[in-house]
Amino acid sequence: MPKINQRKLDRYPLERQPNARVALRADTVRYRIDQIRDISDSGISFYLEHPVAESVSVAIEYADPKLKIEVYGRVAWCLQRQDAGPDAAASFVIGVELLSPMMLFAVLQKH
């Protein structure tokens, strides 16, 4: 079974992507997240242009004009997208296990 299917908690796909800046920060590198795949009580998965190594400590940043949230976690898995066409900018799907996910979950759940 691929790692992507090992998360046992319910996953919630977003009905629409947030109208806010969402980014992944790993060390001093920041990657913009344009498309979130789904969220759960313990993590988030999203599409990204670049691979990120498993077990790397990261922060997910969410910022809109009224609210800024930074949630920490670690990369649980990173896989090459099988469903991405040759023109797809986001070639990888990444799963992040969040250390304190409830605030981000609450904000993204309304999308």
Q: Each residue of 62-108: pLDDT tens digit?
A: 999 999 999 999 999 999 888 766 666 678 999 999 887 676 667 67
Q: Give the chain's domain count.
A: 1
- pLDDT, tens digit (0-9, with 9 covering 90-100), for 29-41: 999 998 999 988 8
Reported pTM: 0.78
User: Is residue 44, in this structure, part of any structural domain at all?
Assistant: yes
User: Is residue 14, in this structure, part of any structural domain at all?
Assistant: no
User: Is residue 1, in this structure, part of any structural domain at all?
Assistant: no
CATH number at residue 34: 2.40.10.220
* Start-to-end CA span in the chain (Å): 30
User: Is residue 2, in this structure, part of any structural domain at all?
Assistant: no
User: Is residue 69, in this structure, part of any structural domain at all?
Assistant: yes
- The domain in which residue 57 lies consists of 19-109
